[in-house]
Structure 1
């Protein structure tokens, strides 16, 4: 009986750490999605790489008890960071602590990124409370949650920018999945498959991970041998492979963008780190076909390529494998009373990262709008303000309009969310757009804004374009940066990175 109870406990640990691992992958995917969204405009200012001091050890002496495990983190065989996991038992459950350090490079600028997570669970590893903190330079994103009955009290941010949401739970966070024997491949044979339910902190919904048991595998890492169980995990278009030991702890992980994590000790995990390859240039797309020398003057472009889920509208159309982008013609005049609120309310309300109800953003919006009745002119003023006032600087973090305004600096995602928040505060429906744009002969991942002026019109505060040139190809539309929108954002990693092949067939200058 004791042996059976012990086995169930280990299975629960495996379930917990698989789910926890997927959350780490999703957080990293979202972070990398935003990191990719820089514009080559920033490269023209050539921000210099800062010389960093010694790599920090994250709270190494904070706890001297509990089960602690360290990992090395690699990207394309470069050791760019480390991760620390620790489980501390107490009378009614566990405190699970995870800390990740990454040294990343974007547009020749190096930044340290830290992801700290704390989970309080019961004895079955069902989460009762959590705190996730992403720190990058002076930017910090904090998410917390507490389970009360059948509800999760979820809070994003701190201080005046804090947003709280109550979310109904249909099942416990990290509830036990059924079919333990299938998950472990016991009695089901090789390639047994099952589904694992977990709560997606980014999507704010209950989600399903597809899990396939690949079999047992003997690993040798850092001169140590491990008998492991290998799993393939699939969440949407994100895939990773995980090797766990018999106690349910991760030994090794391989996932998107060449990321790899391996079990280590503290000494070897934190030493000899290096910076990642430049994420922006690494993931740029070199198109085939005709060459465009002045993309800012392009009013029409025809390209060929397989692009999944491409949004289609009056600006962007698709015929077979050919995509046609036509720059919009701006209306001369558009009045507030012409907006149909019932159809556009999602694009007027505050959203995560688009804090249009923040007093500082409302005050700025009123200053920009003044007594102007023509919303076309209001948009033009807002684009000019964001473009001229913000310092062009990479910020390796999740975007926030109020954080960008407080810093008065940002990359394209910061420009996009701040402009969107200002326009909403002015009563103009608007949304963030994620896609690619052409600069110096290559397509780079980028973010800009669209506003409703009788029809959706594009604008790029980073490049000071209204409307955007026709080399801007829209891949995603976001009304908010959390919830279902965050799930879409992971498509940047899952669908597009390394998979887009484009050929420029034709174009027209102004």
Structure 2
């Protein structure tokens, strides 16, 4: 999983290496449309892309591209393929093709360019415009925004994160469709929201995810120009707006306020501008400060989240597009340093953590429903949690297939975990053979995944169907493949999201849990053997924030697990216990299925 950045950069071969320290056109307005709906620069566009990198690093194309988008509105001219939402070859738009109108002069309006900076280092640019397009004899206005930034992870090859958003409004100025696409290393997250009478339908990769009702007016962004036209942009003005959030498939309240006029220095030029602030309570809270002129044009924007601050400055097209020499080193903002460096984390059998720095209710929402993680104490602004590396007695394991009603949902194939895929079924049954003991079967699968996967840290979040073909990836690919193989043989499995110790720090990580009579951690990326019988265990540095079924809610589940934690969590190790006899499992079994 890409959020475990320190892990993937320290281990490009199988086995362990966890004890090393890390290295440190046109200004005219359309009279046909209610142009006052046109809002400020989408406040979370840049942060959305970076956050996705830290959390998921992209949900891969097989899910996101198959039948994308069903009924999408597509422009046929005026932009290169790199700046529009595309259908895969051979798939025609269900609602037909949307075309630009012949309105003169020019179809692109209110175009602007901005340079994006992190800690005074330019990392990319943002671009936006609006234009008229037609579809089935009716005209719509597209509000397009994109940001492209370059970042690095622990000195690795710089990565471009491209986030694009198109909002389509009808003649009455009502939002009808919102498309969002984030691309990194060729892997994409593609989200769509379709507005119908009294309901909004959300899609992920063309597959329907959720449907919610709506009654009150909502927007794709704060309607700054509408407020300007109404004379409301005055010092002290504040108002709550409903903003559509395709990441959480919901409508979220955003608080907008006007702080007053300010003199701002922008690239050596002084300008007197309105200072506004928007507080967005979405999956990850974001505060956006904008400085805009009397026409609503944004000249400066600061996006602040718990883990990162980005500044955008209005520039010419040429200046904004000037190549970025190197990517900003982003990975270190997601690492957590403890007061004690664990030299051999694979030997750790028990840890007592004191956690603080984030809201108490967030810490209390961690999973405490099994003996591997226990809540020991709750203070005013901290908790003490104990993690345990447990040795499971295989004599207590259930017999396959497991059909218990309470774990039935963890046997089902899902969007990302296609346990019913013929190749996954074939490989799973070949690995397990005639074994009916659930724990012994789980260990067989874990060993096979450990030995069959080739580390590839540029892979986005691939589905099990893709991983079984290419057998490459990081902890997220190890997890999704193992969960699918387990489910294919009637063994309930799910994903845990949290952190683990590596390289002297704690890094974000994903690993499987299997149900063999009770839920047990079994991390195929970091297999450890304990005792003379070489029983497989998962070390106690694994600390869970949440879980996922690896279904269509995957992105939201994982984002919610780490929201408000990245860059904020303070971790103190009170004490810990180790077993020097525990060793990494690195032996290659000749009888493993290829």
TM bucket (normalised to shorter chain) is 0.7 to 0.9
3-state DSSP class of the match of 2:56? helix
Cα gap change, 1:148 to 1:11, in 2 (>3 Å)? closer
User: Among 437, 452, 476, which residue is 1:413 paired with?
Assistant: 476
Q: Using the alignment, how far apart are the partners of 2:81 and 2:279 within structure 1?
A: 28
Q: Contact 1:95/1:120 (CA < 8 Å) preserved in 2?
A: yes
Q: Using the alignment, how far apart are the partners of 2:194 and 2:416 within structure 1?
A: 21
Q: Using the alignment, how far apart are the partners of 1:177 and 1:281 within structure 2?
A: 31
Pair 1:239-2:316 in alignment: no
Structure 2, unaligned runs of 5 or more:
1-29, 60-79, 86-99, 101-105, 378-382, 529-535, 580-594
Cα-to-partner distance string for 1:45-67 (whole Å, 9 max, x where unaligned): xxxxxxxxxxxx98589997412
Corresponding residue number in structure 2 for 1:46: none
Corresponding residue number in structure 1 for 2:128: 85
User: Among 208, 211, 216, which residue is 1:167 paired with?
Assistant: 211
User: Among 366, 390, 398, which residue is 1:334 paired with?
Assistant: 398
Pair 1:127-2:175 in alignment: yes
Q: Contact 2:401/2:490 (CA < 8 Å) preserved in 1?
A: no
Q: Contact 1:139/1:403 (CA < 8 Å) preserved in 2?
A: no
Q: Using the alignment, how far apart are the partners of 2:334 and 2:222 within structure 1?
A: 39
Moved more, 452-461 or 164-173: 164-173
After superposition, residues 17-32 of structure 1 pair within 5 angstroms as: 17=40, 20-22=42-44, 25-32=47-54
Q: Contact 1:296/1:469 (CA < 8 Å) preserved in 2?
A: yes
Give me the TM-score of the superposition, normalised by structure 2.
0.70
Corresponding residue number in structure 1 for 2:17: none
Pair 1:298-2:298 in alignment: no
User: Among 203, 209, 213, which residue is 2:254 paired with?
Assistant: 209
How far residue 295 of structure 1 moved from its aligned partner, in angstroms, is: 0.6
Moved more, 350-359 or 232-241: 350-359
> Aligned-residue CA RMSD in angstroms?
3.7
Structure 1, unaligned runs of 5 or more:
38-56
Q: Using the alignment, how far apart are the partners of 1:362 and 1:164 within structure 2?
A: 26
Corresponding residue number in structure 2 for 1:49: none
3-state DSSP class of the match of 1:496? coil
Q: Using the alignment, how far apart are the partners of 1:412 and 1:10 within structure 2?
A: 47
Q: Contact 1:283/1:498 (CA < 8 Å) preserved in 2?
A: yes
3-state DSSP class of the match of 2:524? coil
3-state DSSP class of the match of 1:402? helix
User: Among 318, 324, 339, which residue is 2:375 paired with?
Assistant: 318
Cα gap change, 1:187 to 1:85, in 2 (>3 Å)? closer
Corresponding residue number in structure 1 for 2:266: 221
Q: Using the alignment, how far apart are the partners of 1:375 and 1:509 within structure 2?
A: 28
**Larger helix proportion of the pair:** 1
User: Among 255, 266, 278, which residue is 2:317 paired with?
Assistant: 266
Corresponding residue number in structure 1 for 2:559: 490
Cα-to-partner distance string for 1:428-472 (whole Å, 9 max, x where unaligned): 222221111111221111111212222221122222355320011
Give me the TM-score of the superposition, normalised by structure 1.
0.81
Cα-to-partner distance string for 1:212-246 (whole Å, 9 max, x where unaligned): 44334343323453623411323155122131534
Which consecutive segments of 4 or more residues in structure 1 shift more than 6 A? 60-64, 176-189
Q: Using the alignment, how far apart are the partners of 1:234 and 1:474 within structure 2?
A: 27
Q: Using the alignment, how far apart are the partners of 1:431 and 1:496 within structure 2?
A: 22
Q: Contact 2:168/2:175 (CA < 8 Å) preserved in 1?
A: yes
Corresponding residue number in structure 1 for 2:512: 449
Q: Using the alignment, how far apart are the partners of 1:153 and 1:229 within structure 2?
A: 35
Pair 1:349-2:412 in alignment: yes
Q: Using the alignment, how far apart are the partners of 1:463 and 1:336 within structure 2?
A: 25
User: Among 95, 113, 119, which residue is 1:70 paired with?
Assistant: 113
Q: Contact 2:400/2:489 (CA < 8 Å) preserved in 1?
A: no
Q: Using the alignment, how far apart are the partners of 1:268 and 1:146 within structure 2?
A: 36
How far residue 10 of structure 1 moved from its aligned partner, in angstroms, is: 6.0
3-state DSSP class of the match of 2:429? helix
Cα gap change, 1:83 to 1:365, in 2 (>3 Å)? farther
Q: Contact 2:56/2:461 (CA < 8 Å) preserved in 1?
A: yes
User: Among 349, 365, 371, which residue is 2:428 paired with?
Assistant: 365
Query: Who wins on radius of gyration, i.e. which is larger?
Result: 2
Q: Contact 2:260/2:275 (CA < 8 Å) preserved in 1?
A: yes
Aligned length: 476
Pair 1:33-2:55 in alignment: yes
Q: Contact 1:27/1:202 (CA < 8 Å) preserved in 2?
A: no
Cα gap change, 1:443 to 1:70, in 2 (>3 Å)? same
How far residue 254 of structure 1 moved from its aligned partner, in angstroms, is: 1.9
Q: Using the alignment, how far apart are the partners of 2:127 and 2:273 within structure 1?
A: 21
User: Among 176, 184, 188, which residue is 1:136 paired with?
Assistant: 184
Q: Contact 1:127/1:173 (CA < 8 Å) preserved in 2?
A: no
Q: Using the alignment, how far apart are the partners of 1:58 and 1:85 within structure 2?
A: 16
Q: Contact 2:459/2:473 (CA < 8 Å) preserved in 1?
A: no
How far residue 324 of structure 1 moved from its aligned partner, in angstroms, is: 0.7
Q: Using the alignment, how far apart are the partners of 1:120 and 1:323 within structure 2?
A: 48
3-state DSSP class of the match of 1:416? helix
3-state DSSP class of the match of 1:354? coil
User: Among 540, 546, 560, which residue is 1:476 paired with?
Assistant: 546
Pair 1:389-2:432 in alignment: no
Q: Using the alignment, how far apart are the partners of 2:526 and 2:142 within structure 1?
A: 46
Q: Using the alignment, how far apart are the partners of 2:189 and 2:222 within structure 1?
A: 34
After superposition, residues 161-200 of structure 1 pair within 5 angstroms as: 163-165=207-209, 167-171=211-215, 174-175=218-219, 190=235, 192-200=237-245
Cα gap change, 1:284 to 1:446, in 2 (>3 Å)? same
Q: Using the alignment, how far apart are the partners of 2:339 and 2:140 within structure 1?
A: 57
